[in-house]
């Protein structure tokens, strides 16, 4: 099951609370969940579409569930046939007008594929390149996305949305280099977008990212996120980013509220679900954190990072065997079966600490180009009580402007360092609360 009704009021977005309150039949909800699994877990989009279609045609199923199924038909078709995706979203607008949240999401997605009215004055070839960039962004094909955005800009130098899209790729994608290499580029592209169109919410959100993760300008970041949300109140991605900022500042209740709003709009977004699990770990509710990380992995089984975070929660509960299994699954997720077996065999033969040192040994070379954050290695050293080594890697993370360094104040594994002068000095230099 993707959704655990035992904790529905805590974990399930409002749309699914409505599903329960309106007494959906268990079979209809289970069928919908099977569709979600085929879409996000198995990656079998054709099968997911068949399942969702069966729900939309069932007159006995509540209307909001049928609307949500119709929305997901469009989401699936985005990766197969854009024309059919547009038709599916139009179906939502025409047949489910009273389902406001779902209609808003369908309209937002439809606008990405129907930019002719908004961009009617744009170069047609630039418009086509932009549409392709948006399409491939849904498939995590970074190189193609960058190429198409750059094509759009070359063809039309006033295409603000293309500059903004390119800025977002550089800000979010660690694979494009170290922060010093890519964040100033993201900043430049976002500023160019705003210079052309100051009402472009996405560009303000990118400036928020740069200020949050690179300049550690908390006031400036919050200002940009608020501006982005004023311009686009239903942008769940900006809500997610804003929740990260709020968490880093210890404003955890506000962060939780922002995550709930985001999950309203996009209940199967794995980034938002992962951040909800992070929240539970920050408030030291490890049972809920573990449950939510598992839910995140159900939504995107091929993801690797949640396995690492899950292992940290297991560590805090002294569940060593489960921690080791989570790390093994991390290696399997990155498709390195040899390292997975080596890690487990080291644990079986030599024990916990040698196994964790083997993990660190694997990670260290990747820190030089941004593939792995130095602060991630620091967390691993914390798990084996090597505090001096952890501080050394945190200082390196500070120098490299690691993305995760801004979470020093709330990550539970750093609790033993809370009175260490070196740690407190790092918090001061980054501008984080003690």
Residues 242, 134, single domain; the answer is yes
- Answer yes or no: do 73 and 169 share one domain: no
Residues belonging to the chain: 434
Lowest mean pLDDT segment, chosen from 14-18, 147-151, 275-279, 396-400: 14-18
**141 and 87 inside one domain:** no
Mean pLDDT, all residues of the chain:
87
* pLDDT recorded at residue 365: 87
Q: Give the C-alpha separation, 248 to 205, whole Å.
A: 17
The pLDDT score that the predictor gives to residue 121 is 66
Q: Are residues 134 and 225 in the same domain?
A: yes
> What is the pLDDT at residue 18?
44
| Residue burial 309-325, b: 16+ Cβ < 10 Å; e: rest | bbbbbbbbeebeebbbb
Same domain assignment for residues 229 and 123? yes
Whether the predicted pLDDT of 173 surpasses 90: no
Q: Is residue 131 domain-shared with residue 254, that is, in the same domain?
A: yes
**In a shared domain, residues 103 and 133:** no
- CA 427 centroid distance within chain: 25
Q: Please give the average per-residue pLDDT across 376-395, as a whole number.
A: 96
Q: What is the mean pLDDT of the segment spanning 12-29?
A: 49
Q: Which of 205, 237, 264 is the endpoint of a domain?
A: 264
Instruction: Report, as an integer, the average pLDDT of 377-384.
Output: 95
Structural domain range at position 208 = 115-264
Please give the tally of structural domains in the chain: 2
* pLDDT above 90: residue 38: no
For residue 412, tell me if it sits in a domain. no
Residues 147 and 9 in one domain: no
Domain end call among 111, 141, 164: 111
Phi, psi of 24 (to 5 degrees): -60, 145
Instruction: Work out the pLDDT band at 6, boundaries 50, 70, 90.
Output: very low
Find out whether 146 and 168 touch, Cβ atoms under 8 Å.
no
Q: What pLDDT shows up at residue 370?
A: 67
Average of per-residue pLDDT across 168-188 = 86
Question: Does the pLDDT at position 2 exceed 50?
Answer: no
CATH number for the domain spanning 216: value is 1.25.40.10
pLDDT of residue 1: 37
Query: Of the ranges 99-108, 270-279, 334-343, which one carries the lowest mean pLDDT score?
Result: 99-108
Residue 296 lies in a domain: no
Over residues 318-327, mean pLDDT: 94
Residue closest to 385 by CA, chosen among 413, 345, 423, 346: 413
All residues at 6 or more sequence positions from 176 whose CB lies less than 8 Å from its CB, including other chains: 142, 169, 170, 182, 370
Domain membership of residue 183 (yes or no) is yes
- Amino acid 364: pLDDT: 87
* pLDDT number for residue 327: 93
pLDDT at 13: 42
CB 89 within 8 A of CB 74: yes
Report the predicted TM-score, pTM, of the whole model to 2 decimal places. 0.76
Q: Is residue 198 part of a domain?
A: yes
- pLDDT of residue 359 exceeding 50, the answer is yes
Torsion angle, alpha carbons of 118, 119, 121, 127, to 10: -160
The per-residue pLDDT for range 110-124, each reduced to its tens digit, is: 776 655 455 656 788
Are 125 and 252 in a shared domain? Answer: yes
* Mean pLDDT computed over 173-193: 87
Burial of 337 (0-12, 13-18, 19+ CB in 10 A): exposed
Nearest Cα to Cα of residue 200 among 189, 211, 214: 189
> What local confidence, expressed as pLDDT, does residue 45 receive?
87
Q: Do 105 and 219 fall within a single domain?
A: no
Q: Report which DSSP code applies to 415.
A: G
145 and 89, same structural domain?
A: no
- Residue 383 pLDDT: 94
Unique residue bearing structure tokens 């050394």? 392
Residue 25: per-residue pLDDT: 45
Report the pLDDT averaged over residues 325-337: 92
Q: Which of 238, 264, 290 is the last residue of a domain?
A: 264
d(CA 210, CA 226): 15
Q: Is residue 193 a part of any domain in this protein?
A: yes
Does residue 120 sit within a domain?
Answer: yes
> Does 409 map to a domain?
no
Q: Which pLDDT band holds residue 136 (cuts at 50, 70, 90)? A: confident
pLDDT of residue 15: 43
Token pair listed for 382: 């914390």
Structural tokens at position 127: 């418009």
pLDDT at 150: 96
Question: Do 80 and 150 sit in the same domain of this protein?
Answer: no
């Amino acid at each position: 099951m993707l959704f655990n009704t035992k904790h529905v009021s805590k974990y399930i977005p409002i749309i699914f609370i409505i599903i329960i309150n309106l007494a959906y039949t268990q079979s209809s909800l289970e069928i919908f969940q099977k569709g979600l699994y085929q879409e996000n877990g198995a990656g079998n989009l054709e099968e997911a579409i068949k399942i969702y279609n069966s729900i939309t045609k069932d007159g006995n199923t509540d209307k909001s569930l049928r609307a949500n199924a119709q929305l997901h038909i469009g989401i699936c078709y985005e990766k197969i046939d854009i024309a059919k995706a547009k038709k599916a979203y139009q179906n939502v607008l025409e047949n489910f007008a009273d389902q406001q949240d779902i209609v808003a999401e369908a309209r937002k997605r439809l606008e990405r594929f129907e930019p002719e009215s908004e961009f009617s004055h744009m170069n047609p070839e630039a418009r086509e390149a932009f549409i392709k960039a948006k399409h491939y962004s849904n498939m995590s094909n970074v190189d193609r996305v960058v190429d198409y955005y750059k094509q759009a800009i070359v063809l039309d130098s006033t295409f603000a949305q293309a500059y903004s899209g390119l800025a977002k790729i550089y800000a979010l994608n660690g694979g494009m280099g170290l922060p010093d290499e890519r964040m100033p580029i993201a900043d430049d592209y976002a500023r160019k977008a705003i210079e052309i169109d100051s009402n472009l919410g996405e560009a303000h959100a990118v400036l928020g990212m740069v200020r949050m993760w690179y300049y550690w300008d908390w006031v400036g970041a919050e200002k940009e996120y608020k501006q982005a949300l004023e311009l686009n109140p239903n942008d769940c991605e900006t809500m997610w980013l804003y929740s990260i900022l709020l968490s880093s500042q210890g404003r955890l209740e506000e962060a939780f509220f922002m995550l709930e709003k985001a999950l309203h709009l996009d209940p199967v977004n794995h980034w938002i679900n992962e951040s909800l699990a992070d929240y539970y770990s920050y408030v030291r509710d490890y049972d809920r954190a573990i449950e939510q990380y598992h839910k995140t992995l159900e939504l995107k089984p091929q993801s690797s990072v949640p396995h690492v975070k899950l292992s940290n929660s297991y560590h805090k509960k002294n569940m060593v065997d489960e921690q080791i299994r989570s790390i093994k699954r991390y290696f399997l997720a990155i498709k390195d079966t040899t390292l997975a077996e080596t890690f487990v065999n080291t644990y079986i033969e030599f024990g916990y600490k040698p196994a964790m040192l083997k993990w660190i040994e694997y990670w260290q070379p990747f820190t030089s180009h941004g593939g792995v954050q130095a602060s991630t290695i620091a967390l691993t050293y914390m798990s084996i009580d090597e505090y001096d080594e952890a501080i050394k890697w945190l200082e390196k993370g500070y120098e490299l402007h690691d993305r995760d360094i801004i979470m020093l104040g709330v990550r539970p594994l750093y609790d033993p360092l809370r009175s260490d002068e070196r740690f407190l000095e790092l918090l001061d230099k980054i501008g984080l609360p003690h």
